[in-house]
Amino acid sequence: MKDHLMYRREFYIGGEWVKPAGTGVLEVVSPSTEEVVGEVPVSTLEDIDRAVAAARAAFDDGPWPRMTPDERADVLDRAAELLRQRNPEIAGVLTEEMGVASSQAPLQTGTIAPVFDYYAELIRTFEFDRVVRSGDRVGLVVSDPVGVVGAIVPWNAPVTLAAWKVAPALAAGCTVVLKPPPESPLSNYILAEALHEAGVPAGVVNVVPGDREVGEHLVTHPGTDKIAFTGSTAAGKRIMSLCGERVKRVSLELGGKSAALVLDDADVETITANMVRASMHNSGQVCAAVTRILVPRKRYAQALEAGAALASGIPVGDPHDPSTVVGPLVAERQRDRVEGYIGLAAEEGFQVVVGGGRPSHLPKGWYVEPTILGDVDNSMRVAQEEIFGPVVSVIPHDGDDDAVRIANDSRYGLFSTVWAGDPARGLAIARRLRTGGTVVNGAVPPQPFVPFGGFKESGIGRELGIEGLHQYLEPHTIGVPPTLVPTTKGDPR
């Protein structure tokens, strides 16, 4: 790994690499070796102020919001190509800074450039101005950029989730202050470099890693018009409260406790094993991970056995090893959290069927074995609270209605899957689920063309799709004389 990718001394503010206001540094520790592998400056409130001032000036007085959609699209297209070229570097940094298995890192990096591609294509044809007529009155509905966006991303997919915010914000004509997380701050420096090289004007994108204190300063800063946040539900509630006090625009993509509903006409054992495998991506540190597998009670024993057999054979180890599927958790505190939930077995009455410990062959690193929990009731904490680790609960149900009841019995509503021998039956069940996204029989919808987000405490708003662009636009209605506005494709006459 090249030194300049892992050791950064500056922030990207106002189109330049600038020295930090303070002298502190944040050491980036490898989750697999527990050794320091990188370093970034520790941002201060003054650094955030500088970044917001640069974004504010770029929005109020700079060219970006005043460029045509085609001109902005050209820059996004160039950014997409540059990011595609740098995918291997991003993947390598992710493996170092957060321990994502190198075999799985491309699943993250491969989705970054397509988001920029998509929004570049979308805004070339998007109807930013719409004419509405009624009798002799005419309204011009203009989609204005919301302004300066504070984008806060989590450690588990830092560049992917930054792209989900930055690409549509830029497409809309906004400017951005991006705050990467302290656990994995390095990979988003590559995003900044690519955007700079693509020709994004000075101040349009600013990248300042930081902790919770500077993140809250960004949220409450009078110079930001909207906050886009991905992270824990607890942090999201705090951000929503702060934005509510200021009537500031906010979109939130938060936690999940996603369920897989396996119906009685499906191949229960095979699907359970496949769901266990899928849930282990990024060591289970995925908000949309399926962590509750609901299976027919009459097939429960066989399903549990199939899931446990699959989990016990998943390769756990050094994330640099291409054969590894499950790497370490991001930090010691995260391992402690996961182990705390597994330790509730005696208190709650569930069974640790397989896993639950630390791999004996890995004396260093924050590892937890792939873990399957049996005899789980949906009221238990392990079924209700987001664990964010390689832990899956297998829960019995007594038919379709009961499966729907269990799946919806959650404060979260991010994602779900339905598995049925009869696809039409599966679709009917999917329509009853209170989640932002559902997959029937493995038919994954075409991201980034479709929206992603959640119901209930899984968040507010949507990312990706045309809905993701709308998050960064404000409708502005202008009444105009009829002779001033020509008939357009938006004219309903």
pLDDT tens digit string along 197-256?
999 999 999 999 999 999 999 999 999 999 999 999 999 999 999 999 999 999 999 999
Residue 33, in any domain of the structure: yes
In a domain, 485, yes or no: no
Residue 157 within any structural domain of the chain: yes
Residue 123 and residue 25 share a domain: yes
Range of the domain at 332: 258-440
Whether the upstream peptide bond of residue 201 has omega within 30° of 0, thus cis, is: no
Which CATH number characterizes residue 396's domain?
A: 3.40.309.10
Q: Provide the pLDDT for residue 483.
A: 87
Cβ(230)–Cβ(153) below 8 Å: yes
* pLDDT at site 85: 98
Catalytic option among 96, 183, 253, 369: 253
- Any domain includes 163: yes
**How confident is the model over 284-334, as pLDDT tens digits?**
999 999 999 999 999 999 999 999 999 999 999 999 999 999 999 999 999
How far lies 331's CA from each of 33, 72, 402, 410, 465, in Å? 11, 39, 37, 27, 33
Report the domain count for the chain.
Answer: 2
- Does 80 share its domain with 122? yes
**Residue 305 and residue 398 in one domain:** yes
How many Cβ atoms from other residues are within 10 Å of residue 192's Cβ? 23
Residues 23 and 86 in one domain: yes
381 & 278 share domain: yes
Distance, first Cα to last Cα, the chain: 61
Sequence-ordered list of residues with C-beta below 8 angstroms from that of 472, at least 6 positions apart, any chain: 145, 146, 149, 168, 169, 171, 172, 174, 226
Instruction: Please tell me whether residues 126 and 172 are part of one structural domain.
Output: yes
Share of the chain above pLDDT 70, in %: 98
For residues 49 and 175, state if they share a domain: yes
| Total-model pTM | 0.96
**287 included as an active-site residue:** yes
Flag whether 343 is in a domain. yes
Q: What is residue 486's predicted lDDT score, i.e. its pLDDT?
A: 64
For the question of residue 253 being annotated catalytic, the response is yes
> Per the domain annotation, does 94 fall within a domain?
yes
**CATH, residue 142:** 3.40.605.10
Does residue 489 form part of some domain? no
**Is 446 within a domain?**
no
Distance CA 466, CA 21 (A): 39
Instruction: Specify whether 133 is located in the same domain as 249.
Output: yes
Q: Are 399 and 264 in contact (CB under 8 A)?
A: yes
Residues 182 and 216 occupy one common structural domain: yes
Indicate if the pLDDT at residue 450 is higher than 70.
yes
DSSP 292-349: EEEEEGGGHHHHHHHHHHHHHTS-BS-TTSTT-SB---SSHHHHHHHHHHHTTHHHH-
Assess whether 215 and 306 both reside in one domain.
no
Residues 315 and 368 reside in one and the same domain: yes
Q: What is the mean pLDDT of the chain?
A: 96
Rg (CA), the chain: 24
Q: What is the dihedral of CA 213, 215, 86, 69, to 10 degrees?
A: -160
Of 96, 97, 183, 287, the catalytic one is 287
Same domain, 50 and 183: yes
